[in-house]
Structure 1
Amino acid sequence: MLDTAKQPLYKGCKEGHSPLSSATRLMTIKTDHNLSEECVDAITEWAKDLLPEDNLLPASYYEVQKLVAGIGLPYKVIDVCIDNCMLYWREDENRNRCRFCRKLRYQETSGRVPIPYKRMWYLPITDRLKRLYTSQRTAEAMRWHGEHRQDGDITHPSDAEAWKHFQSLYPDFAYERRNVYLGLCTDGFNPFGKH
């Protein structure tokens, strides 16, 4: 698995372009744009033809899935209303119709296994964060370095000007347990300075 992350996609390609990075990018595009498997097959076939002969781009959606599955991150597949009204999850897991638009969850087929109209892949954040912190290189980028004050001390993220401003705009944000501060507690979030 690590070999596919370090291996160049083809001889002479830009640094950072590997079979694994290409596969994960394709999966992201598929999910973001709700593309069918056949569409991803067509894209990979077309891209593979454009690249040099010896390229290592996955040749189909099936190969992309195999490569991404090798990362070993757990994920959950959750059925979604065809109009994105709701997720069929937790207390709604056994519903057959959307509780908002009342559209059916499953397609009408002759098979015994029900086929949902729409699904999403959910990657739990805990496992992704653990993975980021296992590498010394990525762990350093994940740590809060704070803001340097004139007296030489480093402030805590909650003392930062950006946080104070954010908390003044959204005072209830911290009380909602589903909100994650991680994305905001980075050096890049600073509306008052450089990004």
Structure 2
Amino acid sequence: MSDNTPIDTDAPLTNFNNCHVGIVRRLKALDELPALLEPAARARQIAEQSLEFFREAIFEHHLEEERELFPAVIASAQTGDELQRVKALAQRLTDEHRAIEKLWKSLEKGLKQVAKGHGTELDISDLHRLVTEYQAHAHFEETEFLPLSEKILGRNSNHMAALGLSLHMRHAKPVNAYI
């Protein structure tokens, strides 16, 4: 019995052509990779720098304010309304420090994963909340507390000098007498 079905002589070439369509589609996707690597590298860099900066600068900044600035202003404030206002402002700022630090700690693990280039379940809403809350905190401190502090400490140049010396001593590197 003979099969009279004509042989499609173009079929093998069509198969090769269809293969190329898939290969070209994959190559176009591969060609997008360089554009995606730069933002990924930038994400790792930002996460790594933020981890370092928050621990070394922001936590330290909060500590300095709470140990040096707030007590100096409270000690120099005039008894009565001014002292009560300064205490309330210092307490508010301290409470904000704790809230910001707590929020940071909730993000830290995810940021470490991003810094390593690993996928993560970083809570984006918390990250935005951290940025927004810190900006509001800094604005309040710069517009309310620091001008008042300058007024209070500026009444007595010795108080401002004492604060400056105290901050200098905290940042000074220890000198080894045997070097």
What TM-score, normalized by structure 2, do the two folds share?
0.24
Structure with higher Rg: it is: 2
- Comparing both structures, which one devotes a greater share of its residues to helix? 2
